[in-house]
Amino acid sequence: MTDRNLTDAPVALTTTMLLEHWQGHRRLTRRVIEAFPDDQLFTFSAGGMRTFAQLATEMLQMIEPTMKGVLENDWSPGGYGRPGPTTKPDLLDAWDAADRALAESWPKITPERFHESASAFGLWTAPVITTLMYLVDNEIHHRGQGYVYLRMLGVTPPSFYQRRPQLAEPGEEER
C-alpha cells in the first residue's frame, strides 16, 4: 500500500471502522485467552512454537509502542519484548490496558498521518496504515494458531465470528 490520492478514491474502511474492526478482533482474542486452561496457557505449544501466552503478550506489547510511534514519531520499543505476565488474570489485565491505550490513542491520529510514510522501529518503512494493518493481521494470524492449541487440548474455541462487546445468543450474532 502506497501513498495515493485519497480525495476521490472509493472508501473501503474509514479510520473509525478500522478501529472498531480491530476492537472486535481484540474481544475475540481475549475470549481465546480465557478459553485456555490456566496452566496450558503458559506451557502448551506445538511444533516448537511459542505458548499462547507468549503470542498474546507479543500482540499486546506491540500496541503502546506503535501508538507512540504513530503519534510522536518515537519508535523506541518501550515495553515490547519485556517478560510478560505469568498468570491468566495478569495477562487479561495487561490485555485490557492495551485496549485502553488503543482506544485513547486512535482518535488522536490525524487523518493525514494514516498515509504518511514512517520507519517503524527501524524495521520497515511504510505508510502508517500498513503498520497498523500489520498489527491487526498479526493478531488474527497468531490467534488462529491458538485455535489449533485449544483443539489439541480438547477445548472448543470461541466462534471466529463473535466479535461483539457482549456475547449475543448465536441466533442474534452476525457471522
Classify residue 119 by its DSSP letter: E
Quick note: the x/- pattern for its own copies over 141-160, rule CB under 8 A, is: xxxxx-xxxxxxx------x
User: Which triple of cell numbers denotes residue 7?
Assistant: 480525495
Q: Which of 43, 49, 81, 167 touches its own copies (CB under 8 A)?
A: 49
CA distance 10 to 62: 30
Stretch that binds its own copies, among 9-17, 29-37, 62-70, 89-97 (CB under 8 A): 9-17
Q: Which is nearer to its own copies, 23 or 68 (CB)?
A: 23
Q: Give yes or no for residue 171 binding its own copies (CB under 8 A).
A: no
Q: Which residues of 2-17 are buried (b: 16+ CB within 10 A; e: fewer)?
A: eeeeeeeeeeeeebee
Question: Segment 78-107, which members bind its own copies (CB under 8 A)?
Answer: none
Q: Give yes or no for residue 10 binding its own copies (CB under 8 A).
A: yes
User: Which triple of cell numbers denotes residue 171?
Assistant: 441466533
